[in-house]
Amino acid sequence: MVMNFDIDRYLELVAPLDDSDIDYDAFLTDPLDEETLRCLRYMHDVEFHTTCYLRDLLVTAAHDDPEITAFLAMWSYEEYWHGEAIAKVLDRHDESHGRQRIAATRRRVGRERMTTLAMMLGSALSEHVVTVALTWGAVNEWTTQAGYVQLAKRSGHPVLGELLRRIAKQEGRHIDFYASQAARRLDASAGARRLTRLALRKRWRPVGSGVMPDVETEFLIAHLFGGDDGESMAARIDRRLARLPGLDHLGIVTSARLKLSNS
């Protein structure tokens, strides 16, 4: 399955999230429950960590491809505004947010810089590391979008639900890029298929793992992907992954869901 993505059309559509009509002050009189806020703190920190994921991609051969670099610049830009929108929700609840919280997160995960070195070395050893990274990105975007949809539903809050659905819609464009790039590269190379399959099976973890404490990742998965609807969502993502060349029957999202939701 090889999908097409119109990068020029995407560049025309790129914009900060439109939240001009979101009534953030509604949270002052109708605040969110603690479970929802706990998820939002996680999402806030991960969205603002996008620039660090960008760093790790750009030390690979991905930086040689002008289409990839054009997308990555705009992807990071849009993700920044997702974080800003969530920060506004946290602000209305007197929660830590923005630069102060981001700085604390980055101090906590400073050891993650080893990932940058590993990506650089891996790219020098194999041209297929870019394919692994793009496929990994597709899975992360699928699960991120699903997480927003699930939290909108779980919270039952009309204002938050509208905001999260808008974020999820923008994530859909990011999915299209990653999935189309991954499909094209996987389709073209048996070596890329073998390495990507091995990397996903052995190393993939839910987005935010390594950035957030394990207990927070476990809570998020249990809260958003628990129950029959969570099981169905995880299975749907696994089916999408299985449609990429050479990646059938991996079931990595379902496996992670079962492992973490039962921790």
Predicted confidence band of residue 115 (pLDDT cuts 50, 70, 90) = confident
Query: What is the mean pLDDT of the segment spanning 154-173?
Result: 97
Q: What is the largest CA-CA distance in the chain?
A: 57
Q: Is the pLDDT of residue 235 over 70?
A: yes
Lowest mean pLDDT among 123-132, 136-145, 194-203: 123-132
In the block, residue with structure tokens 């040689």? 64
Q: Over the stretch 30-47, which tens digit does the pLDDT of each residue have? A: 999 999 999 999 999 999
Interval 48-63 mean pLDDT: 90
- Give, in degrees to the nearest 5, the angle at Cα 32 between 29 and 38: 150
Helix (H, G, I), strand (E, B) or coil at 109: coil
Which parts of the chain fold into alpha helices (H)?
Answer: 7-13, 26-29, 34-48, 50-58, 66-92, 98-108, 113-125, 129-155, 158-188, 190-203, 214-225, 227-242, 252-261
The model's pTM: 0.93
How high is the pLDDT of residue 123? Answer: 83
Q: Which domains does the chain have, with CATH numbers?
A: 31-261 (1.10.620.20)
Q: Is the pLDDT assigned to residue 29 strictly greater than 90?
A: yes
| The residue to which tokens 């969110």 are assigned | 32
